[in-house]
C-alpha cells in the first residue's frame, strides 16, 4: 500500500491524483496544486524522521534548486506534512506527462528511434548535465540512464530533462572522484575496481551507454546484476560497434559513441560539455542519389534489455487519443489534452507520428 491515496489533500494545497512510480527511498505521485496545476510529488518512504534527517533527505531538492537549467527538471516546493502520527517529508517538481526516456524508447516498438531525434535528445541531456559538471567542485549525477531522463513535448518540439539527482554528489576537490553508486548496466569499468570511483567521466560513460542503447536497442556490455560490483570480467569482451546493429550509424558518429565508452577514463570525453561539443560538430552525411539508408533490424524482444515493461497497447492508446481530441475542443483544456495525448503516445507508437505536431500546437495554445 502506498503512502498516499488518490483524492488525498496535502497541506491544503495539493490533491493527489495518482501513483506514478517508486524507487528505493521514495514514492512519486501526480498531484494538482490548487493554483499552479499538475506537479510531480516525491514522498520519502521513511516517515517519522527528525528535521535534520528530513533536511538530509532533501539534498536532491536542494541540488535541483541550485542547478537551474531548461534541461534539468525544476523543483517547485519542499516541505513536510503530518500523517496519522508521524511527519513525512516531500518535494514537488514539474510534471512531464510523457514520462521517461525509457518509455519514449519503448513506445517506438520494433522501430529504432530516428538518429536525428536520438542525437537531439542526448545533446539536451548533455546541456543539462554540463550545468552540474561545471560546478566547483563538480556535481556528478552517478545514475544517468533512460529512466532518469524525462521527455516531453513543448511548443518548439521535444525537450529532455535530467531528473533523479538522489545519488548526485560533489566530487572530492583534490581527486575529482566520489564513491561509485548507481545502476550497474550504466557504470564504467573503474566503478567495479577496488576503489570504486565515480567522476564526470563516469557520467559520460553512462551517457554513452544510453546513446548506444537508443541507436541499437542493445546494451554494449552484459553486466550481470547478480554479481553486483564483482562484474570485472564484463568488460573483457570487445565492444561491438553500433553500426553492426544499425547501419545508419556513420563512422563519425560511431567514433563519438565509442569514445564515450573508452575503458580508460582519461581517453573518454572528460565532461558532458566535451561530449556536447563533439555532437554539435557531427553532421549526418548527405546521401547521394544512388545511396539508400537501411533501417537496422529490430524486434519487440530487443526492447526488453532493460527489463520487463508495460506492453504497447494500441487500443488503449487510441482511447486516450480520442479523449485528448475531445478535451481539446473544450475551452481552456488544451494543456490537459496535450498531457493526455502524450500518455497515448507511450501506448501506441503510430500515434506519435500522427499527433506530435498537434501536441506542439496545443502547448502553444492553438487548437486545430
Query: What pLDDT digit, counting tens, does each position of 219-268 carry?
Result: 999 888 878 887 778 888 889 999 999 999 999 999 999 999 999 999 99
CA–CA distance, 206 with 5 (Å, rounded to integer): 35
Q: How many other β-carbons are positioned within 10 Å of the β-carbon of residue 260?
A: 23
CA–CA distance, 302 with 218 (Å, rounded to integer): 7
Q: Are 285 and 250 in contact (CB under 8 A)?
A: yes
pLDDT exceeds cutoff 80 at 173: no
pLDDT attached to residue 296? 45
pLDDT attached to residue 297? 43
Q: DSSP of 64-83, one letter per residue?
A: HHH---TTBPPEEEEEEEE-
Going from N- to C-terminal start, the domains of the chain cover 12-94, 101-304, 314-363
Ordered alpha helix ranges (H), the chain:
51-57, 59-66, 101-106, 115-133, 200-216, 251-260, 272-281, 314-328, 334-345, 349-363
> Closest Cα partner for 211 from 241, 175, 173?
241
Q: What is the pLDDT of residues 154-164, one digit of tens each?
A: 988 899 999 99
Q: What is the pLDDT of residues 348-367, one digit of tens each?
A: 878 988 999 999 999 999 98
Phi, psi dihedrals of residue 145, rounded to the nearest 5°? -170, 165
Question: Mean pLDDT lowest for which of 53-67, 142-156, 286-300?
Answer: 286-300
pLDDT exceeds cutoff 80 at 309: no
Q: What is the pLDDT of residues 57-77, one digit of tens each?
A: 889 899 999 899 999 999 999
Q: Are 206 and 187 in contact (CB under 8 A)?
A: yes
CA–CA distance, 9 with 68 (Å, rounded to integer): 29
CA–CA distance, 91 with 43 (Å, rounded to integer): 7
pTM assigned to the model: 0.90
12-94 placed in CATH 3.30.200.20: yes
Give the CA angle between residues 325, 327, 333 to the nearest 5°.
Answer: 125
Q: Counting Cβ atoms within 10 Å, is residue 111 exposed (0-12), middle (13-18) or buried (19+)?
A: middle
**Architecture of the domain defined by 101-304:** Orthogonal Bundle (1.10)
Q: What is the pLDDT of residues 48-60, one digit of tens each?
A: 888 888 888 889 8
- Give me the mean pLDDT over the 176-180 stretch: 79
Q: What CA dihedral angle connects 278, 280, 282 and 286, to 10 degrees?
A: 180
pLDDT attached to residue 288? 60
Q: Where are the extended beta strands (E) located within 209-361?
A: none
Percentage of residues of the chain with pLDDT beyond 70: 93
Amino acid at each position: 500500500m502506498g503512502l498516499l491515496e488518490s483524492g488525498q489533500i496535502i497541506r491544503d494545497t495539493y490533491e493527489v491524483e495518482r501513483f506514478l512510480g517508486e524507487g528505493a527511498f521514495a514514492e512519486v505521485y501526480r498531484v494538482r496544486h490548487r493554483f499552479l496545476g499538475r506537479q510531480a510529488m516525491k514522498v520519502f518512504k521513511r516517515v517519522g524522521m527528525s528535521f535534520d534527517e528530513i533536511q538530509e533527505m532533501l539534498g536532491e531538492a536542494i541540488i535541483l534548486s541550485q542547478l537551474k537549467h531548461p534541461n534539468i527538471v525544476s523543483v517547485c516546493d519542499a516541505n513536510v506534512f503530518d500523517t496519522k502520527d508521524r511527519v513525512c517529508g516531500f518535494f514537488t517538481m514539474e510534471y512531464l506527462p510523457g514520462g521517461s526516456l525509457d518509455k519514449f524508447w519503448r513506445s517506438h516498438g520494433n522501430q529504432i528511434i530516428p538518429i536525428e531525434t536520438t542525437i537531439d535528445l542526448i545533446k539536451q541531456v548533455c546541456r543539462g548535465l554540463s550545468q552540474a559538471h561545471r560546478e566547483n567542485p563538480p556535481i556528478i549525477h552517478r545514475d544517468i540512464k533512460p529512466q532518469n531522463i524525462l521527455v516531453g513535448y513543448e511548443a518548439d518540439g521535444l525537450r529532455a530533462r535530467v531528473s533523479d539527482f538522489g545519488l548526485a554528489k560533489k566530487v572530492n576537490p583534490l581527486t575529482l572522484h566520489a564513491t561509485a553508486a548507481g545502476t550497474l548496466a550504466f557504470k564504467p569499468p573503474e566503478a567495479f575496481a577496488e576503489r570504486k570511483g565515480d567522476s564526470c567521466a563516469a557520467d559520460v560513460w553512462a551517457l554513452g551507454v544510453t546513446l548506444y542503447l537508443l541507436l541499437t536497442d542493445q546494451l554494449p556490455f552484459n553486466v550481470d546484476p547478480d554479481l553486483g560490483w564483482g562484474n570485472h570480467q564484463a568488460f573483457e569482451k570487445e565492444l561491438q560497434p553500433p553500426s553492426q546493429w544499425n547501419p545508419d550509424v556513420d563512422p563519425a558518429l560511431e567514433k563519438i559513441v565509442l569514445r564515450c565508452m573508452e575503458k580508460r577514463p582519461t581517453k573518454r570525453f572528460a565532461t558532458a560539455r566535451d561530449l556536447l561539443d563533439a555532437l554539435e560538430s557531427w553532421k549526418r552525411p548527405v546521401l547521394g542519389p544512388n545511396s539508400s539508408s537501411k533501417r537496422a533490424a529490430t524486434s519487440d524482444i530487443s526492447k526488453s534489455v532493460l527489463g520487463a515493461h508495460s506492453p504497447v497497447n494500441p487500443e488503449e492508446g487510441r482511447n486516450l487519443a480520442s479523449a485528448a481530441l475531445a478535451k481539446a475542443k473544450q475551452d481552456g483544456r488544451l494543456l490537459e489534452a496535450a498531457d493526455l495525448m502524450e500518455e497515448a503516445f507511450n501506448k501506441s507508437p503510430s500515434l506519435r507520428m500522427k499527433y506530435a505536431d498537434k501536441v506542439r500546437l496545443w502547448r502553444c495554445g492553438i487548437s486545430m
